Amino acid sequence: MNSGRLLRRGVNLERLTLGWNAVGIVVLGVAAIAAGSVALAGFGLDSLVEIGASTVVLWELSDTGEARQRRALSLIGAAFILLAIYVTVQSAIVFATAHHARPSDLGIAWTAVTAAVMFGLASGKARTGKALDNPVLVAEGRVTFIDGLLSSAVLVGLVLNAVVGAWWADPLAGLVIVVYGLREARSIFGRRNLTHHPPGPGKQGSAGSYTGGRDRWESLSAGAGRAPARHHVSKCAHEQAHSEHEL
């Protein structure tokens, strides 16, 4: 598949993500108010993070220059950190207040469908980003994957709360997402630094190919190959002159 078609696929995946999360904010807001659910309200706010990440990628895909990729990676890394902070604060509030939300059929249905949609979108973004060799699209695919994990965690919490009254299940599952989100943020910022500061001669960074060191190495090798030849010619001339002097 050519790069133009892959680029269009990446744009369409981001547009679908944007549209889904825009609708999700409204649905989750209605469900959160009806059930008095802190988890559903917080998950609605999480959709804003995903909308922001998708907007960043659409902006970056319009011009895939290295400088713009670094800025886009920084923004997506910041989105991971914000997501981790949100889940941490949300979990702490629920644990501290022992809040028992009312069962929400709408919330259960939406989070179940959202989890499936987000995992599908994340897989598509990962494959397309790798095919395009675009680290920003790959990184945003991880944001979408985390959104799917968060949907699943909220779904499990809602179901356990509705069936057995286990109010603590949702914030406990959220803490797993905090660890994953922070790890991905660290990975993204590390990749961005490698892109900004290319590795030394003869090395290649994980953010992409760097040929400057290789070119310099080949130049030095060529020079080293010529130096012995010059030395050999000089030595032969010296020996010939010495022989003539003896004669």
* Mean predicted confidence (pLDDT) in 132-140: 87
Nearest Cα neighbor of 104 from 174, 50, 155 is 155
pLDDT of residue 190: 79
Tell me which long-range contacts 172-178 makes (C-beta under 8 A, separation of at least 24).
172/91, 174/87, 174/88, 174/90, 174/91, 174/150, 175/87, 175/88, 175/91, 176/149, 177/83, 177/84, 177/87, 177/146, 177/149, 177/150, 177/153, 178/84, 178/87, 178/88, 178/91
Instruction: Decide which of 224 and 147 is more confident.
Output: 147
pLDDT of residue 196: 53
pLDDT over 90 percentage in the chain: 26
Tell me the helices (H) and strands (E) count for the chain, helix number first.
7, 0
Instruction: Decide which of 161 and 173 is more confident.
Output: 161
Which of helix, strand or coil describes residue 167?
coil
pLDDT of residue 152: 92
Instruction: Decide which of 228 and 108 is more confident.
Output: 108
Each residue of 88-97: pLDDT tens digit? 888 888 888 8
Task: Write down the mean pLDDT value for the chain.
Answer: 77
Structure tokens at 5: 């078609």
Instruction: Decide which of 247 and 34 is more confident.
Output: 34
pLDDT(203) > 50: no
Q: Tell me how far apart the alpha carbons of residues 33 and 164 are, in angstroms, rounded to a whole number.
A: 22
pLDDT of residue 239: 53
pLDDT of residue 233: 43
pLDDT of residue 91: 83
pLDDT(229) > 70: no
Task: Collect all residues with Cβ–Cβ distance below 8 Å to 121 and sequence separation of at least 6.
Answer: 13, 16, 17, 20, 141, 144
pLDDT(23) > 90: yes
pLDDT of residue 127: 94
pLDDT of residue 214: 36
Instruction: Decide which of 223 and 36 is more confident.
Output: 36
* Mean predicted confidence (pLDDT) in 105-128: 96
pLDDT(13) > 90: yes
Structure tokens at 145: 């994957």
Strand partners, 205: 208
pLDDT(68) > 70: yes
